[in-house]
Structure 1
Amino acid sequence: MRARKLFIGGKIRAIRGEQGLTQAGFATKLGISTSYLNQIENNQRHVSASVLLALAEAFSVDITTLSDQDTDRLLADVSEALADPVSGGTQPSLTDVKLVVQNAPSFARAFVALHQAMRRSGDQLAELDETLERSGALTDPTPYEEVRDFFHYVDNYIHELDLAGEALNQELAKSRGVSLKALADYIERRHRVRVVIGAGGEAGAGQGEGDAVGLRRFDPVSRVLWLNPRSPVSTQAFQIACQIALIEHDAVMRRIIEEARFRSADAAAICRIGLANYFAGAAILPYGAFAAAARELRHDLVLLADRFSTSLEQVAHRLSTLQRPGQKGVPFFFARVDKAGNITKRHSATKLQFARFGSACPLWNAHSAFETPNRIIRQLAETPDGVRYLCLATTVSKPSGGWRDPVQFYALALGCEVAHAGELVYADDLDVARAEAFEPIGVSCRICERRECHQRAVPPLKRRLLVDPDRRKPVPYDLD
């Protein structure tokens, strides 16, 4: 397969700026001409292997961090924003959009932020609730969307918290290993917090034991951390690790939040929870040991969950965060989808970028998972850009109590580009070399331009409709 050319002029300019060098001085240290460097920085020439090696040698640059995944992600966001009718006018070509994203990424991000502020109603994008429209809540991204975008653009990897979680795991492993009791003993010994599994006597009439707690409740006065007795042991351990993060790494999380410059206090508060969850994931599933086990077990989700005494969701989510510079794992996408098709968690280290608005493609196997609960199903899929993926999906349920209590039911979706399929046990009997084995899927109907799709819900925003009353297909229109 022919190697993909790497256009990273913006990153090269940033490295040169950090070194305080002119183009002439920087080019001399790399052993190339000034004109060649100028062409690289303006994305008129791709970066060769020899230049990458020179960067590593002359400036100690970790060349594994010089990928163009950020560009792919930003390109997808800009393209989707341009597809919105609110953008109006003539649509620029993909080549023009790539030039802007590659040469002026900060401008592209500003454009995406501007587009978010211009959203008007659910009819234009995702048929959002009419009440929200009247309230004006659609003027800016919600705090939840803002935090989701923060993790999206840092590649769902927080280096400082990842190292801190791994350090806690190694400290506990020196004695008896990471377990619910070990974490409970640690938080009591280090922070004088007593762990109680139960409702703490607060359950009122009609409430069962644990209802008043939720998953976790901490009383800073009594220094008691109550956990829900109905939660699995893996969830209880995870919640103790979250509380350790909130107490022990508060300063680090505050600094990360301040640097993110969220628009509201609500977004900052939501991000704090997300950062605590990130630390907990790193503590329960430490980077080095987990990445090694993933390679050894060929990414078998069940075996990984058994080895680390955790849940399938925690394993799948952690696999999508293995983006540590110099130690990257297989690049996965991960999503959690509810029965209505809403994506409640999402991250992609691949070229596949989830739709920011509306539901996911109905042909994606994440929806089929609800038909075969408790099984991992597979799909070879191809997106409209020609990229092929191995997609996995399974369901998880989160019962909260007795007969009258609700049960949360989700599908988990995990996948990678087919080039990495050989590293997954799930591809062993699949014919990934046969083009016919791949099902055509999209990202969202509103931005998918496939002409022949029997499951299309709405027409694409950028194509003119052709309606013939004398012809009727599964979809009542053609696309020009």
Structure 2
Amino acid sequence: MTTQKLYAGVKLREIRTGRGLTQKDFAGRLGVSLSYLNQMENNHRPVSTGVLLALAREFGFDVTELSVGEAERMTADMREALADPVFAEAPPLAELRLVASNAPGLARAFLALHRAHRQQSEQLVSLNEALGTEGSALAPLPWEEVRDFFHYCDNYIDAVDRAAERFAGSLAGGDRLAAMADRLQADHGIALQIRLDAPLRHYDPASRRLTLAAEAGPATQWFQAAHQLALVAHDDLLEATLDLARFRTDTAREICKIGLANYFAGAALLPYGRFLAAAQEARHDLDRLALVFGASIEQVAHRLSTLQRPGAKGVPFFFVRVDQAGTITKRHSATRLQFARFGSACPLWNVHRAFEAPGRWLRQLAETPDGVRYLCLARDVSKPGRDFHAPVRRYAIALGCEVAHAGALTYADDLDLNRGFEPIGVSCRICERTDCHQRALPPMDRPIRIDPDDRGALPYRLD
């Protein structure tokens, strides 16, 4: 296994300048020499354990904020972009990490430029209408822009999360949906009704009537009611958050507002402090947590991946949902594992086998090409239609953490965490493995050699 060194020059400078300290004074408080501090601030040396302890002791700083999460996400995104054939040769991984840590603005600008190039190329082959590109080819697709917003926020929006937690704490006990209906009526004059053959959620502003589908489960009904309450009661908060995001198009802003209302609903259904404590007590048993909080398995899994509140973080999980074609429809990672921005996930990952074992948790010990090992859980979460003739929406979810945290999960109790790790990757386009029997495409940053007289598991060899 490899150990990731922590380079955090930008964050160190923010801490120092935010407190009005000179480099000399800051170095003294940290107990290091001036030259050593200068090297750390310029990412020429990693942050040591002694410096981390001094930051916590001297400044009360939550050192978990110095995680490599965002830098690693941008590194993975740049690495995938640089696998594009337009680039003759990709810079070394160490250089990409240096850029992501020391110049994150430049990294984001590069990713935006590559995205523009990709979209323009798609236009040149007459695919822009099929892909739904809005306006100029230089603008990112609205869905991509919103996805990246949540991705780089660690899928945790503090102000919205805390507002949802306060709302959940103010509700009366007993029948949860009845309490929600009472609050909507008393505070906002909104009447809640549940009807057969109604849309999942429909709100009529003129009559101030919210209609929910009777076919939906109680957790979904409550979630949809909380979504509408967020739009009505916390519109100013949502709009302020959208202002900070600076989306390029109105469409992206509208999509993100729906996402923020969903975030509020999920955080209200599973309030941060109470849910974190219950998750730790239950050792992250998702079935038990779903029963305690009256939520779905998918809601619980997604919420576990958002427990990134500074000073009260949970186990760092990744979460993903895929359809039967392997297309990623939801994704988030608080771990070093980053998902492909384009295309499908690695076929060796157990999430693809979940469709074959409905209602069961599948466990997998997996290792990525960088040597990091994970405990991966997968399960199908297919959504039946409202009648016999309605189509079934089939999805599978995966949740996982690095093996270092596996002891906090009940699912690891009978596993040998020292061996039996299956090799997985991010996507075939950027995977480094040369001996994968499931490879669908050659890596875009490696030349291939074709020998008509020699055929192995693949019809080519990687140089």
TM over 0.5: yes
Q: Give the whole-Å Cα distance in 2 for the aligned partners of 1:475 and 1:403.
A: 44
Task: Provide, for residues 431-458 of structure 1, a one-character-per-residue CA deviation record: whole Å limited to 9, x for no partner.
Answer: 1111xx1111111110112111111111
Q: Shift in Å at residue 113 of structure 1?
A: 1.3
Moved more, 102-111 or 16-25: 16-25
Q: Shift in Å at residue 37 of structure 1?
A: 1.3
Q: Give the whole-Å Cα distance in 2 for the aligned partners of 1:262 and 1:299.
A: 36
Q: Which runs of 5+ in 2 are unaligned?
A: none
Task: Provide, for residues 446-476 of structure 1, a one-character-per-residue CA deviation record: whole Å limited to 9, x for no partner.
Answer: 0112111111111110111111111222211
**What does 1:369-388 correspond to in 2, within 5 Å?**
369-388=354-373
Q: Shift in Å at residue 55 of structure 1?
A: 2.4
Question: 1:289 is aligned with what amino acid?
Answer: R
Quote the residue 1:186 is aligned against.
183
Equivalent residues, number: 461
- Alpha-carbon spacing, 1:192–1:135, altered in 2? closer, same or farther (3 Å): closer
Q: Give the whole-Å Cα distance in 1 for the aligned partners of 2:129 and 2:3.
A: 50
Is this contact kept in 1: 2:363–2:375, CA < 8 A?
yes
Q: Give the whole-Å Cα distance in 2 for the aligned partners of 1:411 and 1:8.
A: 36
Quote the residue 1:364 is aligned against.
349
TM-score w.r.t. structure 2 length? 0.95
> What RMSD over aligned residues (CA atoms) do the two structures have, in Å?
2.1
Q: Give the whole-Å Cα distance in 1 for the aligned partners of 2:423 and 2:33.
A: 45
1:249 matches 2:234: yes
Is this contact kept in 2: 1:120–1:133, CA < 8 A?
no
Q: Give the whole-Å Cα distance in 2 for the aligned partners of 1:343 and 1:408.
A: 14
Quote the residue 1:355 is aligned against.
340
Q: Shift in Å at residue 112 of structure 1?
A: 1.1
Quote the residue 1:458 is aligned against.
441
Q: Give the whole-Å Cα distance in 2 for the aligned partners of 1:82 and 1:223.
A: 51
**What does 1:23-62 correspond to in 2, within 5 Å?**
23-62=23-62
Q: Give the whole-Å Cα distance in 2 for the aligned partners of 1:40 and 1:186.
A: 52
Quote the residue 1:104 is aligned against.
103
Task: Provide, for residues 185-230 of structure 1, a one-character-per-residue CA deviation record: whole Å limited to 9, x for no partner.
Answer: 111111111101026xxxxxxxxx21xx2x1111111110000111
Is this contact kept in 2: 1:322–1:330, CA < 8 A?
yes
Q: Shift in Å at residue 128 of structure 1?
A: 10
Give the secondary-structure state (helix, strand or coil) at the position aligned to 1:148. Answer: helix
Task: Provide, for residues 293-321 of structure 1, a one-character-per-residue CA deviation record: whole Å limited to 9, x for no partner.
Answer: 11111111111100101100000000000
Question: 1:398 is aligned with what amino acid?
Answer: K
Quote the residue 1:273 is aligned against.
258
Report percent identity of matched pairs. Answer: 59
Give the secondary-structure state (helix, strand or coil) at the position aligned to 1:455. Answer: coil
Is this contact kept in 2: 1:121–1:133, CA < 8 A?
no
Moved more, 367-376 or 25-34: 25-34
TM-score w.r.t. structure 1 length? 0.91
Q: Which runs of 5+ in 1 are unaligned?
A: 200-208
Moved more, 100-109 or 52-61: 52-61
Q: Shift in Å at residue 122 of structure 1?
A: 8.3
Question: 2:114 is aligned with what amino acid?
Answer: H
Quote the residue 2:117 is aligned against.
118
Quote the residue 1:147 is aligned against.
146
- From 312, 316, 332, the counterpart of 2:317: 332
Give the secondary-structure state (helix, strand or coil) at the position aligned to 2:311. Answer: coil
Q: Give the whole-Å Cα distance in 2 for the aligned partners of 1:426 and 1:258.
A: 41
Between the two structures, name the one with larger relative contact order (CA 8 Å, sep ≥ 6): 2
- Alpha-carbon spacing, 1:130–1:54, altered in 2? closer, same or farther (3 Å): closer
Question: 1:190 is aligned with what amino acid?
Answer: D
Quote the residue 2:169 is aligned against.
170
Give the secondary-structure state (helix, strand or coil) at the position aligned to 1:156. Answer: coil
Is this contact kept in 1: 2:134–2:141, CA < 8 A?
no
- From 414, 417, 427, the counterpart of 2:412: 427
Moved more, 93-102 or 279-288: 93-102
- Alpha-carbon spacing, 1:29–1:4, altered in 2? closer, same or farther (3 Å): same
Q: Give the whole-Å Cα distance in 2 for the aligned partners of 1:149 and 1:118.
A: 17
Moved more, 9-18 or 47-56: 47-56
- From 130, 133, 136, the counterpart of 1:132: 130
Is this contact kept in 1: 2:321–2:331, CA < 8 A?
yes
